[in-house]
Amino acid sequence: MSQIVITVVVNVAGALAAGTPDHHIVMIDNNKAAGSLHEATDHLHTAVREGDTLVWVVTSLECETYAAITALSVPDDVCEVRCETYPDTAVTYWVGTVKKAVTAPVPYGLTFALGSSLYTLPTSPNCALIEAQPIVVPEAAA
């Protein structure tokens, strides 16, 4: 079991101007060694195993703008998600537990609150959870 952090960077001004966060977000995770694909795009495919803990965090490209994930749509039979709040703050993040092995890509979508008027904008379900590959550790040179 691993903890996999998925970081979402949002160009809030671009998303609000376009009316969609699609093509205005960049996503990365810390599981490339297990096979995550499409790092630094808006269609990250995160490699997961049964029992993994996923943590989604969001930040705004522009430091003076607000961005938060307000909903995460992933099939309940694959990943159980919940919103949590950092202690003594109003800053939220999402946590998920992978409930079963993933053998085919499982698409999911994110919904954001963006800007001072808190527009709620959903993404297309371009992101996915995919099957993790074995991590091969090279033997140390003798």
pLDDT at 118 over 70: no
pLDDT of the residue at 16: 87
pLDDT band for 112, please (50, 70, 90 cuts).
Answer: confident
What does the pLDDT average to over 87-101?
Answer: 95
What does the pLDDT average to over 32-57?
Answer: 95
CB atoms within 10 A of CB 17: 10
pLDDT of the residue at 23: 87
Q: Of 12 and 1, which is predicted with more confidence?
A: 12
Q: Of 97 and 24, which is predicted with more confidence?
A: 97
pLDDT digits (tens, 9 = 90+) for 48-81: 999 999 999 999 999 889 999 999 999 999 999 9
In terms of Cα–Cα distance, which of 82, 92, 27 is closest to 54? 82
pLDDT of the residue at 124: 66
pLDDT of the residue at 123: 66
Contact, 49 vs 57, CB < 8 A?
A: no
Per-residue buried b or exposed e for 28-41, using 16+ beta carbons within 10 Å of the residue's own CB: bbebeebbbebeee
Average predicted confidence (pLDDT) for the chain: 90
pLDDT at 138 over 90: no
Question: Percentage of the chain surpassing pLDDT 90?
Answer: 63
| Separation of alpha carbons 120 and 122, rounded Å | 7
